[in-house]
Amino acid sequence: MTKKIKLKISARLLKKKLRKDSAGGAKHCRFCNNPELVSEINYKNASFLRKFLTERGKILPARISGNSCKYQKMVAREIKNARVMALLPYCATSY
């Protein structure tokens, strides 16, 4: 019995490891320790902000883009400003 339980745990851990490795290691924030890139976050620079949108025009979650909380808030605010000025779409549809 004890052996079986051990095997089960090891298999789960192995799967976890595989999943981590397939994703290409741990994610890190691209803005931390990179002041040049931080200065590009502006509502006028719409082509840069477009990287943080999905195909449908939604804001990418930090879970996927890997931004830290501080910069995710900055990016989201500037995207919302750019949407007001019609530089970025609220909802991407073909019109």
Partner 1 sequence: MLRYEMLFLTVPEITGDEIDSIKSYFQKSVRSAQGDMLSFERWGKYRLAYPVNKNDYGVYFLTRFEVELENRDALLKDIRGSYVFKFNHLIVKNMICRLDEKASLEYKRPESLEDTPHDIDSFLKKNDMEGLLKPKAGFRGKRAEEKSIIGGVAFGKETKVAVPVTAFEEEDELEDFEDNIE
- Residue numbers of the site for partner 1 (CB under 8 A)? 40, 42-48, 81, 83-91, 95
Residue 44 Cβ vs partner 1, minimum distance, rounded to whole Å? 5
Toward partner 1, which CB reaches closer, 16 or 40? 40
C-alpha to C-alpha distance for 78 and 89, rounded to whole angstroms: 13
Toward partner 1, which CB reaches closer, 42 or 54? 42
Toward partner 1, which CB reaches closer, 25 or 35? 35
Q: What is the DSSP letter of 90?
A: S
| Residue labelled with tokens 């890997």 | 66
Residue 82 Cβ vs partner 1, minimum distance, rounded to whole Å? 8
C-alpha to C-alpha distance for 93 and 48, rounded to whole angstroms: 20
